[in-house]
Structure 1
Amino acid sequence: MSSKYFALGGADDEDSTQRFFTRNKFLPSLPTMLPHRLRRKFRSTRSKIRSRQTPTSSISSLQTSFNPRDTLQTLRDHQWSVYDAQYIFLAVVGIFALCVIQSPGPMVKTTVATLLMLSLLLPVTRQFFLPFLPIAAWLVFFFSCQFISGEYRPPIWVRVLPALENILYGANLSNILSAHKAVVLDVLAWLPYGITHFGAPFVCSGLMFLFGPPGTTPTFARAFGYMNLTGVMIQLFFPCSPPWYENMYGLAPANYSMQGSPAGLAAIDKLFGIDLYTSTFTASPMVFGAFPSLHSGCATIEALFMSHTFPKLRPLFIIYTGWLWWSTMYLSHHYAVDLVGGSLLSAGAYYIAKGKFLPRLQPGKMFRWDYDYVEVGEAREGYAYGITDLAEDDFHPANFGMDSGDEWTIGSSSSVASSSRSPSVGARSPVDESWEGDTLASTSDNEYYQQKPGQKS
């Protein structure tokens, strides 16, 4: 006869497992030693947890509706929180950028804004463009920086980064790495800096969408966008000259009328007979945006999210980040301190997302369609099946003859290994509260625990 039981102690300690939640038609599914009031509250908690779970299709499938009324209904049902203030911030950034941009003209800007609003109104496109909003705000704000007059911008720091480089590392690492040039080294530096950097966000998003828990890609998109947007704001208010400026002009004062430079990427244009990087970097909207390095920031945040989704490939992602660090300094686009600043910015964005919004991996799940529920944020120790909702005095270890110093859990993951669902640890993803599925407190359980006439509780 099959049985289900709860574990007292660690989930991996078989000796500590107490089989006192045995299910059969003769014995109750809760120990008779527990007070009736506690058993009733425990069953109620289990029912609430199971009622919040949805079928696999409801969390892994995509929206296919083109009806704007579905979006309006979603807005009416949405429970607003302080996190929704981000959309006000993004709207302010977008409106400011569109007002500053001089070219293209009002017609093009109005068309782009209208198309974006339309994409948010249709459910089939909203699921993609809503997480894309921070990235869109970053791109339009970065483009608008070239139209901000120099009289409203702070002076350019030319000596700060070289001084920090010598103080922290004892030498200018960028000049050391770029001192010896070779065609092979030029190509090796160009691949991550000029090719992979622009395609990696799309590849990472696709892989996380297929193999990560539902909700991983939108979380990555938001963290990626906010990281870059924050980096551009730092570059705007703390403009610093890159290594190529020191190589060309020394430590002479800089001004905003100066054009950018492709630096080491000019060798790639010469090698392939093109004018791609020379024309692009010469007309860069942010010429003096050395600190922090967003190339380093993008590589780091991609490595962190990919390491979360594919833990076994973490060394590969670390190697890629180090490769891009080397190429950035070899091409004379950033100092080492810029790379550290970009990586720290990405680490902050990642760990904020991981602690509050990033879905956790579950053992044995390979594709997004394998998940029948999603847990987000950091796992909280000692919490399972909502047991913390019970009164502290009712569930004190002393009531069960146990030492209060023992570490124990009820409803650990090992206790429901045969079930298709697992206990809740941490926050769950928002799901449809109206979904009615099988719960732990099923009809048979309620009938069994129904008090008989004349029976005292």
Structure 2
Amino acid sequence: MQQTNIVVETETQIPLGWRERLSPSKLNSIPGRYNLPRMFSRSSKSTKTTPKQMREPMTTKSIAALQTSFKITDSFQQLRTRKWSVFDVQYVVLAGLTLTSIWIIEPSAPFIKTAAALGYLSLLLMPATRQFFLPSWPIWTYLLYFFSSRFIPFDIRPGIFVKVLPALEDILYGTNFSEIFSSWNHPVLDVIAWFPYGLGHFGLPAICSAIMFIFAAPGTVPMFAKSFGWMSALGVTIQLLFPCTPPWYERMHGLEPAKYGMQGSPAGLARIDALFGVDMYTTSFTTAPVPFGAFPSLHAADAILEALFISHCFPKLKGLCIFYVTWICWATMYLNHHYAVDLLGGAIIAYTIFFVVRKFWLPRLQAGKKYRWEYEYVEVGDMKKNKALDEELGYGPVASGKRSIDWQDEFTVMDSFMHSRSSSGSSSPWSSRSDRSNRRDD
């Protein structure tokens, strides 16, 4: 009998779901949880997908792209579909503080004030300008709040504390550092103190913002602007509710009671005006809106917040940041503007705000990324310490590892992690419905 060898060729069975994963469109596309924003299109046409578009590979949009539309209707469309959360109270507070500050400014000019309010509202509603003015709204509100505080009636303000800060200085440190540092001065020391206190304090926030905008992760500058603005507004509020005399008042008037209406003093900065023969600080400090706002020191708070953000984005510059903070803290006491306890109060406020922002909303650095345009996705918050919070909000174990934010939608910067699963990395808000359905099938 002749033996016949029969070879039967059979198709290798691949487990269900693997065929789709091995398709060219899947291999060439970015994983779903890292997909880039597709939510907002520059086109005002219908967003319906045609059969031809369904066959084509999905294209992605840079996460660092900037808005270019000036159509206010685009913002109204986003507001209609927006998921509101408790963090939106911040905008209510900012609006109320802005309107109150404009209202108390004298003289009464209703048309000018209304035009100013409507002008800024238009900047908040146009997408091209909103991406800059909405995150920085707390800063503009703080500046307006600080300027308009001079118009608060004296009879409703609290009494001015003259002895509290010197007493705290003695209790905490056993000596008055401001008196020690300012007891001997020299023109060279005046210039050295002037650089951080008179120049760096006003120019460094803009410089830090520009550097972080180019070299840090997308979304870092909005977080810095919000932190800076809210911290400054909080500092002014404390200064108004807890007015204290600075060291220059003790040197000029001793511990005599202070009263509203008294002029401020440039203290050591008057020597800078005399040195250069100009009036840079004498008039501005003499007519300061809050002459008795010694505690907390916003000079120290601003420098510390800037140092914390720069150290987070550029760890190699941590030593330089520590040097600058030490430099400006010495300058505040050398120029006789603050006690050491004022610096401590500013440091506590700055670090507390940075700690909260870093834990929940601050974008994390990615190795090998030098510019913002190199980022394809963004991870936010200190996720190692935030696992319990993600699980409490309904995110799974994978979701607790990454959370993404659409930084092109400025309205969701502070509250995206509250918006159910669309904030988690495992279910990106940028993923299409087909991507999510495929992941569920797999």
Aligned to 2:173: 169
Contact 1:213 1:371 in 2 (8 A): yes
Q: 2:395 and 2:159 mapped to 1: Cα distance?
A: 61
Q: How does 1:57-456 map to 2 (within 5 A)?
A: 57-103=61-107, 105-380=109-384, 425-430=401-406, 433=429, 435-436=431-432
1:375 partner SS: coil
Q: Give the length in aligned residue pairs.
A: 379
1:376 partner SS: coil
Residues 441 and 90 of structure 1: is their aligned pair in 2 closer, same or farther, counting only changes over 3 Å? closer
Q: What's the TM-score once normalised by structure 1's chain length?
A: 0.76
1:68-116 deviation digits (Å, cap 9, x = unpaired): 1111111112111100011111111112111211147333322221210
RMSD of aligned alpha carbons: 3.1
Per mean C-alpha deviation after superposition, the further-off stretch among 348-357 and 282-291 is: 348-357
Shift of 1:160: 0.3
Residues 334 and 381 of structure 1: is their aligned pair in 2 closer, same or farther, counting only changes over 3 Å? closer
Shift of 1:427: 2.5
Residues 190 and 76 of structure 1: is their aligned pair in 2 closer, same or farther, counting only changes over 3 Å? same
Per mean C-alpha deviation after superposition, the further-off stretch among 86-95 and 253-262 is: 86-95
Aligned to 2:53: none
Residues 121 and 434 of structure 1: is their aligned pair in 2 closer, same or farther, counting only changes over 3 Å? same
Residues 438 and 329 of structure 1: is their aligned pair in 2 closer, same or farther, counting only changes over 3 Å? farther
Contact 1:266 1:278 in 2 (8 A): yes
Shift of 1:442: 6.7
Q: 1:248 and 1:363 mapped to 2: Cα distance?
A: 55
1:161-207 deviation digits (Å, cap 9, x = unpaired): 00111111111100100111101000000000000110011001111
Q: 2:31 and 2:174 mapped to 1: Cα distance?
A: 63
1:188-238 deviation digits (Å, cap 9, x = unpaired): 000000001100110011111101111000010000000000000000000
Q: 1:80 and 1:428 mapped to 2: Cα distance?
A: 18
Asked whether 1:49 is paired with 2:41, we answer no
Residues 390 and 333 of structure 1: is their aligned pair in 2 closer, same or farther, counting only changes over 3 Å? closer
Contact 1:47 1:440 in 2 (8 A): no
Aligned to 1:13: none
Residues 26 and 76 of structure 1: is their aligned pair in 2 closer, same or farther, counting only changes over 3 Å? same
Residues 130 and 48 of structure 1: is their aligned pair in 2 closer, same or farther, counting only changes over 3 Å? same
Q: What's the TM-score once normalised by structure 2's chain length?
A: 0.79
Aligned-pair identity (%): 48
Residues 387 and 56 of structure 1: is their aligned pair in 2 closer, same or farther, counting only changes over 3 Å? farther
Q: 1:165 and 1:391 mapped to 2: Cα distance?
A: 48
Counterpart code for 1:236: L
Residues 248 and 178 of structure 1: is their aligned pair in 2 closer, same or farther, counting only changes over 3 Å? same
Contact 2:34 2:376 in 1 (8 A): no
Shift of 1:133: 1.2
Residues 353 and 125 of structure 1: is their aligned pair in 2 closer, same or farther, counting only changes over 3 Å? same
Q: 1:289 and 1:106 mapped to 2: Cα distance?
A: 30
5+ residue gaps, structure 1, are 1-24, 32-45, 393-409, 412-422, 450-457
Shift of 1:336: 0.3
Return the structure number with greater relative CO, CA threshold 8 A, min gap 6: 1
Contact 1:52 1:433 in 2 (8 A): no
Residues 367 and 440 of structure 1: is their aligned pair in 2 closer, same or farther, counting only changes over 3 Å? farther
Q: 2:312 and 2:438 mapped to 1: Cα distance?
A: 36
